[in-house]
Amino acid sequence: MNRIVTLTTDFGLKDPYAGAMKGAMLSIARDMAIVDITHLVSPGNILEGAFILLEACRHFPRGTVHVGVVDPGVGGERKPILVEAGDYLFVGPDNGLFSLAARVLGMKRAIELTEKRFFLPEVSSTFHGRDIFGPVAAHLATGTAPDAFGTELGKIRALDIPRPSAEEGGVSGEVIYVDSFGNLITNIRKQDIDPLSGAGCEVLISGALLKGVRKTYAVAAIGAALALIGSSGYLEVAVNSGSATGALKAGVGEKVKVRPIR
């Protein structure tokens, strides 16, 4: 049995960390398939990593093992965990990184990784991706049952994610992620604004008023800002052939409101 294992980390591409973790994994399961989702999560940004994992994980075959290492608390009191959610397994730190996926996919159980026989012989205090999470994923990939890795937990740590709210006939939310194109992705979902679509709606963000929610980027003039439902199913604000975060001077935490056109 050789499962696919994915990696989502904030290790970057310059340093040896991602390569060393892969080496440790391949030393256990040489024929395993490793897929990099990204190693460019902003350093220590757990919410960003959680959003990326949520959006990517569902497009893999059932049984895939998703390793997430965005771990500013490494060496501290946070637990190393294995989470079963939906059709997937997640391995990494219990710091909220898997809470979005667990909420959306449906968490079946969580296990604290306590069986050290599945770790590397020497575990550093600062590199659990190489010494704990990668090796555990490799053993999972070769068919070791999740029960073997430790003891079941009642819950995992959840991120305090802001949720949109109804306000004055509209919906208020905020930007939760900025992608590499400078698109501002909000916590407002398509279904949150569907009731407003009949009469048309407008989006207010960072002093800008955007008329309508468009279908794609190209319907706006080059350099013009627009609102649309992105591939993730969330409302996003973009600039055609440009950067919304640059043009609007907005980033994560920026307030957004959708209301009927006045």
Give the per-residue pLDDT at 200: 82
Specify whether the CB–CB gap between 90 and 83 falls below 8 A: yes
Task: Say how far residue 92 (Cα) sits from the centre of its chain.
Answer: 13
* Those residues with Cβ within 8 angstroms of residue 1's Cβ, 6 or more apart along the chain or in another chain: 141, 142, 143
- Domains contained in the chain, CATH given: 4-153 (3.40.50.10790), 165-260 (2.40.30.90)
Is residue 144's pLDDT more than 80?
yes
Dist. CA 171–CA 162, nearest whole Å = 13
pTM of the model: 0.91
Give the start-end residues of each E strand in 105-199: 107-113, 150-153, 165-167, 170-178, 184-189
Mean pLDDT score of the chain, rounded to an integer? 94
pLDDT digits (tens, 9 = 90+) for 165-197: 988 789 999 999 999 999 999 999 999 988 776
Name the band, by pLDDT with cuts 50, 70 and 90, for residue 198: low
Phi, psi of 259 (to 5 degrees): -145, 160
Q: What is the CA radius of gyration of the chain?
A: 20
**What is the token pair recorded at 4?**
């696919």
- State how beta strands 80-85 and 88-93 pair: antiparallel
Name the helix (H) or strand (E) containing 229.
strand 225-229
Q: pLDDT tens across 223-249, in order?
A: 999 999 998 889 999 999 999 999 999
CB of 44 closer than 8 Å to CB of 15: no
